[in-house]
Amino acid sequence: NIRIGLQLASEPCVIEADPTQLQQLLTNLAVNARDAMPEGGLIEFRLAHIYLEPDQTPPSPELRPGEWVRLTVADGGVGISPDIRPHIFEPFFTTKDIGQGTGLGLAQVYGIIQQHQGYIDVESRVGTGSTFTLYFPPGQVTEVESTPVVAPEQLQGQGEVVLVVEDDPAVLNVITRRLEKLNYQTLSAANGQEALAVYRANQAHIAVVLTDLVMPEMDGIELFQALQAEAPHVKVIILSGYPQQASLEALLAQGVIERVQKPPEFGALAQALHRALQSSRHS
**Domain limits of the chain?**
2-136, 153-281
Q: Give this prediction's pTM.
A: 0.55
- The CATH homologous superfamily for domain 153-281 is Response regulator (3.40.50.2300)
DSSP state for residue 100 in the 8-state scheme? S
Distance CA 123, CA 242 (A): 26
Nearest by Cα to 159 from 277, 239, 258, 264? 277
How high is the pLDDT of residue 5?
94
List the strands of the sheet with 66-75, edge to edge: 2-7, 41-52, 66-75, 129-136, 119-125
Fold topology of 2-136: Heat Shock Protein 90 (3.30.565)
At what angle are helices 266-281 and 169-181 packed, to 10 degrees? 60
Phi and psi, residue 184, nearest 5°: -105, 155
DSSP string, 17-50: --HHHHHHHHHHHHHHHHHT-TT-EEEEEEEEEE
How high is the pLDDT of residue 221?
86
Element (H, E) at 178: helix 169-181
How high is the pLDDT of residue 100?
46
Contact between 130 and 72 (Cβ < 8 Å): no
How high is the pLDDT of residue 278?
82
Do 153-281 and 2-136 have the same topology in CATH? no
Contact between 199 and 191 (Cβ < 8 Å): no
How high is the pLDDT of residue 230?
92
Low-confidence ranges of the chain (pLDDT < 50): 98-103, 147, 149-150, 282-283
Distance CA 209, CA 168 (A): 17
